[in-house]
């Protein structure tokens, strides 16, 4: 009997231990489930915000909230200014800028008040989640349970990093990303943005996650309205005062004024003197009337100068990389195996409010093709990349950037008067007639031929605003990711 009682007692202890263990495991599983759920809820907020920063996204902030949320594309965010993506559920009120609200943004106060920036107070810089917009809203499906995502600029001091190598993380100037490092130089690359997401589950589990992101693309800068990027270039223009190439046409905007109308790159020490300034100058008619006064910019008239282009526009290899990056991220690709692509192939959704990136290619097995004709009276907006010959009607128009990189030839066809190109054009030969890349490193002779008759008005006008609006958009790269302790 004693032995039986002892065995029963031992079994009871084991049973109790199993019950306790099972309860602990259930609690651990529940905690893990809550932790995982709130983690992915916060992550979904970060990914929605990151995706909607890209202008080609159908739900981009630029499209859904064009005037009430983020500044216009190409405009930097100011330090201390906050932009909130909010995701209310069941009609609840979400005001993270209010410290007394249900879901306050206390993390901003921790990060930025030491930099003497005021706490967020302006509720106008907000946008609704796609889960609060149709068609998703009408589906009555439960969306992710994040409450808000904050978008803001960052600085050395807010991040605690020394970007300018002065051994002090003290600057409150917005940071930019040059493809490898943070920098205070706004011309080095795209601005670094901070995305902070707060999520909470019905059981009270909370999580704050944070991204640092920057556009992982290319920054295209131009020193002139028309740039012939090559050696021994060929240039000819019509004998008429209505034809102009103006590098000083951007309303006196000295922040991005070019150094000349038709500049040429300087290849560096040891490279023979580039004769292109003489070539272009000789291509400007002086009889029966002297048209040199139509080429205005900085310095002497005609304003034709050698300049140093950005590194990504200097060599055959770097130019080809620019071409490939644009093709990979273009809003539309026009294939031209037959050599007859024209403006009818451009997307109908392209407009002044929606400039787009368009790449024109030939057959993959015959890359020397890829010609494009911008026809009479047409006006385009955005970035146009032509890998073959670019032909334009004399009354056609383009606002933005035109890159003729590949065959590097431009030809005008007479069709009327008044055509204008606002922004910048760059012409570079990187491939031979068989479509093979030149051995480089320097591009071959670019060719610009506009001698169409009769003499009709047209011209190329440098315009910084259109250059910025036409910059190619690429996905925002995640530079860092971490959880914020609470």
Q: Write down the H helix ranges in 76-215.
A: 106-112, 156-159
pLDDT tens track of the chain, all 486 residues? Answer: 888 888 888 888 888 877 777 776 666 655 677 788 899 999 999 999 999 998 778 888 888 887 778 887 667 899 989 999 999 987 789 999 988 899 999 999 888 888 778 778 766 788 999 988 888 877 777 788 999 999 999 999 999 888 888 888 888 999 998 878 898 887 777 899 999 999 999 888 999 999 999 987 777 888 889 999 988 888 988 888 788 898 887 655 555 667 678 877 765 544 556 778 888 888 888 888 888 888 888 878 888 888 888 888 889 999 999 999 899 888 899 987 777 789 999 999 899 888 899 999 877 666 557 899 999 999 999 999 999 999 999 999 999 999 999 999 999 988 888 889 999 999 999 998 888 899 878 899 999 998 877 656 788 999 888 888 888 877 888 999 999 876
* Backbone CA torsion sign across 28, 30, 34, 37: positive
383 vs 378: CA distance, rounded Å: 15
Place of tokens 């499209």: 63
- Cβ atoms of 106 and 486 closer than 8 Å: no
Residue listed under structure tokens 């600029």: 153
From the number of C-beta atoms within 10 Å of its C-beta (0-12, 13-18, 19+), residue 156 rates as: buried
Q: How far is it, in rounded angstroms, from Cα 241 to Cα 414?
A: 16
CB contact burial 103-118 (16+ within 10 A = b; e otherwise): bbbebbeebbeeeebe
DSSP letter assigned to residue 306: E
* Domain limits, the chain: 48-217+475-483, 226-469
Among the listed residues 350, 401, 340, the one whose alpha carbon sits nearest the alpha carbon of residue 378:
350
Question: Is residue 246 within 8 Å of 237, Cβ to Cβ?
Answer: no
Contact indicator for 424, 471 with CB cutoff of 8 Å? no
Q: Is there a contact between 468 and 42 (Cβ–Cβ < 8 Å)?
A: no
Q: Looking at residue 188, what DSSP letter applies?
A: S
Residue 119: φ, ψ to 5°: -65, 150
Q: Specify the residue for token string 């990914």.
A: 47
Closest CA to 160 of 195, 112, 116: 112
Q: Do 294 and 243 form a contact (C-beta atoms < 8 A)?
A: yes
Q: How far, in Å, CA of 482 to CA of 486, rounded?
A: 13
Q: Residue 384 is inside which H or E element, if any?
A: strand 379-386
Question: Strand pairing partners for 429?
Answer: 406, 444
Which residue, chain included where needed, has tokens 């039986």? 4
Distance in Å from the first CA to the final CA of the chain? 58
Exposure string over 165-200, b if 16+ CB within 10 A, otherwise e: eeeeeebbbbbbbeeeebbeeeeebbbbbbbbbbbb
Report the C-alpha gap between 330 and 470 in whole angstroms. Answer: 12
């Amino acid at each position: 009997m004693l032995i039986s009682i002892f065995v029963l007692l031992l079994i009871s202890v084991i049973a109790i231990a199993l019950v306790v263990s099972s309860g602990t495991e259930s609690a651990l599983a529940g905690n893990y489930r809550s932790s995982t759920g709130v983690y992915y809820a916060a992550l979904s907020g970060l990914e929605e915000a990151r995706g909607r920063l890209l202008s080609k996204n159908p739900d981009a902030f630029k499209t859904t909230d064009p005037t009430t949320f983020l500044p216009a594309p190409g405009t930097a965010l100011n330090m201390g200014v906050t932009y909130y993506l909010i995701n209310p559920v069941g009609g609840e009120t979400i005001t993270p800028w209010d410290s007394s609200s249900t879901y306050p943004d206390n993390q901003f106060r921790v990060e930025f008040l030491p930099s003497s920036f005021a706490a967020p107070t302006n509720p106008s810089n907000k946008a609704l989640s796609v889960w609060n917009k149709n068609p998703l809203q009408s589906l009555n499906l439960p969306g992710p349970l994040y409450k808000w995502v904050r978008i803001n600029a960052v600085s050395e001091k807010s991040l605690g990093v020394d970007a300018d190598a002065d051994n002090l993380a003290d600057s409150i100037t917005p940071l930019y990303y040059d493809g490898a490092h943070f920098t205070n130089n706004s011309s080095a690359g795209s601005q670094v943005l901070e995305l902070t997401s707060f999520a909470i589950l019905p059981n009270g589990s909370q999580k704050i996650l944070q991204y640092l992101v920057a556009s992982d693309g290319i920054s295209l800068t131009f020193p002139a309205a028309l740039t012939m990027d090559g050696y021994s270039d060929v240039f000819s223009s019509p004998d008429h005062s209505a034809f102009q190439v103006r590098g000083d046409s951007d309303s006196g905007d000295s922040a991005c004024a070019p150094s000349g109308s038709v500049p040429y790159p300087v290849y560096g020490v040891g490279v023979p003197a580039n004769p292109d300034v003489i070539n272009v100058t000789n291509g400007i008619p002086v009889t029966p009337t002297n048209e040199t006064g139509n080429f205005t910019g900085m310095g002497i008239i005609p304003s034709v100068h050698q300049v140093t282009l950005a590194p990504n526009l200097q060599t055959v290899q770097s130019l080809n990389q620019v071409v490939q990056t644009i093709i990979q991220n273009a809003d539309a690709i026009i294939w031209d195996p037959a050599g007859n692509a024209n403006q009818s192939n451009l997307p109908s959704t392209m407009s002044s409010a929606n400039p787009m990136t368009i790449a024109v290619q030939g057959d993959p097995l015959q890359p020397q093709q890829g010609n494009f004709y911008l026809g009479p009276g047409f006006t385009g907006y955005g970035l146009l990349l032509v890998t073959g010959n670019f032909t334009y009607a004399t009354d056609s128009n383009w606002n933005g950037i035109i890159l003729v990189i590949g065959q590097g030839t431009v030809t005008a066809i007479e069709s009327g008067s008044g055509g204008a190109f606002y922004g910048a054009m760059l012409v570079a030969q990187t491939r031979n007639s068989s479509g093979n890349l030149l051995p480089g490193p320097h591009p071959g002779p670019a060719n610009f031929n506009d001698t169409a008759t009769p003499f009709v008005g047209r011209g190329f006008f440098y315009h910084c605003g259109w250059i910025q609006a036409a910059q190619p958009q690429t996905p925002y790269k995640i530079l860092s990711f971490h959880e914020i302790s609470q």
